[in-house]
Amino acid sequence: MTDPEIETFPSPDALAAAVAGRLVVRLAAIQAAGRTPSIALTGGTVAVKIHQAVVTATEGHEDVDWGNVDIWWGDERYLPEEDPERNAGQAWDAMLSHLDVSPGRVHEMPASDGPHDSVQEAAEAYGETLRSRGGEGFDVVMLGLGPDGHVASLFPGSAQLDVRDAVAVAVTDSPKPPPERVSLTFGALNRTAEVWFVVTGTGKAGAVAQALATGDDAADVHDLPAVGVHGRDATVWFLDEEAASKLG
Ligand SMILES: O=C(O)[C@H](O)[C@@H](O)[C@H](O)[C@H](O)COP(=O)(O)O
């Protein structure tokens, strides 16, 4: 497991621009090597800033063919398709609708008014799609961080943290509204070359410090799910100064 890389920025906007710039460079390099990149987006307010910055970064980087990128999500709120709280809708509004993506390569998690009768069925269906279309895993998984250390919709003390035999799981009691969600499991999130945590604000500083603590101070994954996710080649923490404020 590689040591975490910590990148600190003066503001959320600076963080978003840096993440967006690194993403387009990474995608272009993978495509130049003849592969179709595969990324997993996150939900949350930092993600929206990043999505907006990706549009700007793409304008300055002609080499990215967004039609040849597989786009997945790490989690989704199990709401009707048009609900403004859905991570996919927010990504389409801020980024995807401004890029030449291939709809067949944008893999949204199912909505509650979709073809499935329950969030459990929706999770199983998404897991099957990822198993069949997800190839060798992701090149980049982006993750926001909750003040409680949750990532995707994997929350402290939840049973989903110990699920090993599924790619995606249903959550019905999320402490962060809405209660019903679909989330990738640790097994799926960790099938990635790089994990990028994107975190801003003093409210997350404690969780960041706990997640990066080592030795006897290292957090248990059941208390702080973020420690359960690592990239094969890199685990990068993109932090603004507030989120980094409790690091030694
Ligand atoms: O669907 C979600 O809510 C997320 O995927 C969740 O894991 C989010 O990324 C964190 O809670 C951070 O959210 P903020 O960036 O808004 O604090």
**Per-residue confidence (pLDDT) for residue 63, from 0 to 100:** 85
pLDDT digit string, tens, across residues 11-43? 999 999 999 999 999 999 999 999 999 999 999
> Does residue 98 register a pLDDT over 80?
yes
**Per-residue confidence (pLDDT) for residue 60, from 0 to 100:** 80
Q: Establish whether residue 201 lines the binding site of ligand 1, counting it when its CB lies within 6 angstroms of any ligand atom.
A: no
> Does residue 1 register a pLDDT over 90?
no
Which whole number is the average pLDDT over 74-96? 98
Give the C-alpha distances (Å, rounded to integers) separating 151 from 65, 117, 156, 215. Answer: 29, 26, 9, 22
Specify the CATH architecture of the domain 4-61+69-240.
3-Layer(aba) Sandwich (3.40)
Q: Is-contact 51 90, C-beta < 8 A?
A: yes
**Per-residue confidence (pLDDT) for residue 134, from 0 to 100:** 87
Q: Establish whether residue 75 lines the binding site of ligand 1, counting it when its CB lies within 6 angstroms of any ligand atom.
A: yes
> Does residue 135 register a pLDDT over 90?
no
| Mean per-residue pLDDT over the chain, rounded | 97
Question: What crossing angle do the helices spanning 87-94 and 45-59 adopt, rounded to 10°?
Answer: 30
Q: Establish whether residue 152 lines the binding site of ligand 1, counting it when its CB lies within 6 angstroms of any ligand atom.
A: yes
**Per-residue confidence (pLDDT) for residue 61, from 0 to 100:** 76
pLDDT digit string, tens, across residues 35-50? 999 999 999 999 999 9
Q: State the distance from the centre of ligand 1 to the C-alpha of 33, rounded, in angstroms.
A: 32
Q: Establish whether residue 37 lines the binding site of ligand 1, counting it when its CB lies within 6 angstroms of any ligand atom.
A: no
Kindly indicate the confidence band of residue 120, based on its pLDDT and cuts at 50, 70 and 90: very high
**Per-residue confidence (pLDDT) for residue 247, from 0 to 100:** 97
> Does residue 2 register a pLDDT over 90?
no
| Cβ neighbours of 225 (radius 10 Å) | 31
Q: State the distance from the centre of ligand 1 to the C-alpha of 238, rounded, in angstroms.
A: 15
Q: State the distance from the centre of ligand 1 to the C-alpha of 146, rounded, in angstroms.
A: 6
**Per-residue confidence (pLDDT) for residue 62, from 0 to 100:** 74
Task: Give domain limits for the chain.
Answer: 4-61+69-240
Report the C-alpha dihedral over residues 214, 216, 218, 219, rounded to 10 degrees.
Answer: -170
The protein residue with its alpha carbon nearest to ligand 1, atom 4, reads: 43
Give the DSSP H or E segment for 24. Answer: helix 12-32
d(CA 42, CA 164): 21
Which residue among 73, 85, 176, 229 is best mutated to probe the pocket of ligand 1, counting the most ligand atoms within 8 A of its Cβ?
Answer: 176
Interface predicted TM-score (ipTM) over 0.95:
yes
Tell whether the torsion through CA atoms of 220, 202, 200 and 146 is positive or negative.
positive
Which whole number is the average pLDDT over 228-241? 98
**Per-residue confidence (pLDDT) for residue 171, from 0 to 100:** 98
- Please report, rounded to a whole number, the percentage of residues in the chain having pLDDT higher than 70: 100
Which residue among 108, 150, 238 is best mutated to probe the pocket of ligand 1, counting the most ligand atoms within 8 A of its Cβ?
Answer: 150
> Does residue 122 register a pLDDT over 90?
yes
> Does residue 138 register a pLDDT over 90?
yes
